[in-house]
Each structure stands twice: as structure tokens, then as C-alpha cells.
Amino acid sequence: MESTGTPMAMEPSEAPMAMESSEASVPVDAQFLTAMVPHHQSASEMAQIAVERVQDPEVKALAQRIIDTQTAEIAQMTEISTTEYGTTPPSDMMAMSHDMMGMTMTMDMAADMAMLESSATPDVTFLQMMIPHHASALMMADEEVKRGTDDEVKTLAEKIKSDQANEIGEMQQMLERLA
């Protein structure tokens, strides 16, 4: 699959329900935490660039809310991962495999960050990049809700699904207004 210039690109057909054999011994909940922490970190990094560059007050407020929410969730997920699974999730998306929870991802975060930093229309660029990024988080969270066994992690995944679905709707409305 070719990179689309978005932080994450994923085809629905590439999100198998079965675990990859190399992941079979790792609980789904641990996989979710390990995948979602760097995913949230990359969203926070993009949102920080947006806070510094965008002009529209609604887009700027959304970017700051993404930073605040996802930073708190990163801390929560890291604590759960350390306490329950004895691991610390990576914080860098570049350190991640292209296979997250059995879903193949295409990512070029350095190029995406550079594109956002140099964009002549950072408000629009940020929204266009964050919508598919959030959509991939929804897919991972959905897998956790369906297949996870840890109630705390599943509750967090439900919250991520709700929050990010709402934010996608907001971003789509902002894009319509700004385009």
C-alpha cells in the first residue's frame, strides 16, 4: 500500500480479526497499550505543531484539547502497562512495527510532521492529517473492545472511541468551513 501523506493509512481489509502468530502470546490488552501510546504521542506532536502554527481559534483549541486528553491517556496507559504487564510502551511511533494489533499501517511521521510544519494552510493540513490518524485509533480501540479482557483497558478504549469519533465529526465540520 502506498503512503497517502497522512500519518496513518489503513485499508479495512488489512485489519484482520485473528492475531498474528508472533502476537499470539501477548494479551490483546497489552498489544493495545503498546500500540496506542506511541499513536497518541504522534497525535500530540502533530497537535503541538498545530497549536504553534494554525490561525483558526477553533482548530487551535481542538489541537490543545488533543494534547491535553492524549497526554493524560498516555500516562494512564503507561501506568497500566507497567503495573499489569511489566512493560513500558514505546513513546515513538517510528519505533513501532508497521503491524499494530494485527492491522498493517503505513506511516512516515517525519514526512508528515515536516509537511505540517511547512504547510501554507496549516489549519487545513492539520485537520486532513488528524482525521485518518483518529480513524486508525478508532479501529485499534474497537479491536480492544471486542477482544480485550481487562475491564480498565476496555473502558479506556471505549472512551477513546467516543472522544475521537466526536473529534472526527468536529474536524470534518471545521474542514467544510475552512475549505
pLDDT of 22 strictly over 80? no
Q: What is the mean pLDDT of residues 4-22?
A: 38
Contact criterion met (CB below 8 Å) for 171 and 65? no
The pLDDT tens digits of the residues spanning 70-114 come to: 999 999 999 999 999 999 998 765 544 444 445 444 456 777 888
pLDDT of 134 strictly over 80? yes
pLDDT of 143 strictly over 70? yes
Which class is 26-178 in CATH?
mainly alpha
The whole-model pTM stands at: 0.80
**Alpha carbon distance 108, 160 (integer Å):** 23
The pLDDT tens digits of the residues spanning 44-71 come to: 999 999 999 999 999 999 999 999 999 9
- Residue whose C-alpha cell is 489541537: 63
Contacts of 51 (CB under 8 A, 6+ apart): 60, 63, 64, 67
Percent of the chain with pLDDT over 90: 70
Contact criterion met (CB below 8 Å) for 103 and 140? yes
